[in-house]
Chains A and B, each alone.
Chain A
Amino acid sequence: MVEHQEAGHDKQARFAQIVMPHLGAAYNLARWLTGHDQDAEDVVQEACLRAFKFFDSFHGTEGRPWLLGIVRNTCYTWLEQNRGHKLTASFDEATHDVPSDSDNPENMLLRTLDDRLIRQALNELPVEFREVMILREMEGLSYKEIARIAGIQLGTVMSRLARARKRLQHHLAQSMAEE
Chain B
Amino acid sequence: MDCTETQILIESYGDGELDLAHSLELEQHLQECATCAQQYQQHRLLSTAISRGSLYYQEPASLRQRIEATLPQVHPQLTAVPQTKTEPPATTQVRGNTRPVRKLTPWHWTGVAVPMAFAASLIFMTKTQTPAPVPLTGTPSTTVVETPPSRLREEQITQEVLASHVRSLMAKHLMDVPSTDQHTVKPWFNGKLDFSPPVTDFAPLGFPLVGGRLDYLDNRPVAALIYKRRKHFINLFIWPSGTNPPSATGAAQVKGDKATPSVPAVLTRQGYHILHWTRSGMTYWAVSDLSEGELEGFMCLVQSPQPGKQNPNGSAMGR
Contact = CB atoms under 8 A, between A and B. Distances in A.
Interface of A: 5, 8-9, 11-18, 20-24, 26-28, 31-32, 37, 40-41, 44-45, 48-49, 52, 61-64, 104-105, 108, 110-111, 113, 115, 118-119, 122, 133, 136-143, 145, 158, 161-162, 165, 168-169, 172
Contacts of A138: 50-51, 55-56, 230
A119 B56 CA distance: 10
Majority secondary structure of chain A interface residues (helix, strand, loop or mixed): helix
Interface SS of chain B: helix
A140 B290 contact: yes
B142 interface: no
27 contacts: A9-B74, A9-B75, A9-B78, A13-B104, A16-B96, A16-B97, A16-B99, A16-B100, A17-B97, A20-B64, A20-B68, A21-B96, A41-B59, A44-B59, A45-B66, A48-B67, A63-B271, A64-B291, A104-B42, A137-B47, A137-B51, A138-B51, A140-B290, A142-B291, A143-B12, A165-B11, A169-B46
**Residue from the set A5, A20, A41 with the largest chain B CB neighbour count within 10 Å:** A20
A144 B93 CA distance: 27
Contact of B293 (A41, A45, A119, A142): A142
B103 interface: yes
A113 B96 CA distance: 38
B184 interface: no
Contacts of B124: none
Given A9-B79, A16-B99, A141-B291, A115 B54 contact: yes
Contacts of A143: 12, 15, 17
B109 interface: no
B70 to A, nearest CB: 6
A24 B100 CA distance: 21
B71 A48 contact: yes
Interface residues of B, number: 58
Interface in B32-77: 35, 38-39, 42-43, 45-51, 54-60, 63-64, 66-68, 70-75
Contacts of B213: none
B291 A41 contact: no
Contacts of B93: 20-21
Contacts of B47: 137
Contacts of B28: none
Contacts of B70: 45, 48-49
B84 to A, nearest CB: 16
Nearest to B97: A17
Contacts of B289: 21
B56 A17 contact: no
Given A113-B49, A118-B55, A138-B230, A13 B103 contact: yes
Given A16-B99, A45-B66, A110 B46 contact: yes
Rank and list the top 10 A-B pairs by shortest CB-CB distance, nearest first: A27-B59, A8-B74, A16-B96, A110-B45, A31-B57, A137-B50, A137-B51, A13-B100, A140-B294, A21-B271
B161 to A, nearest CB: 17
Interface in B236-272: 268, 270-271
A48 B58 CA distance: 17
B165 interface: no
B92 interface: yes
B120 to A, nearest CB: 33
Contact of B58 (A14, A24, A145): A24
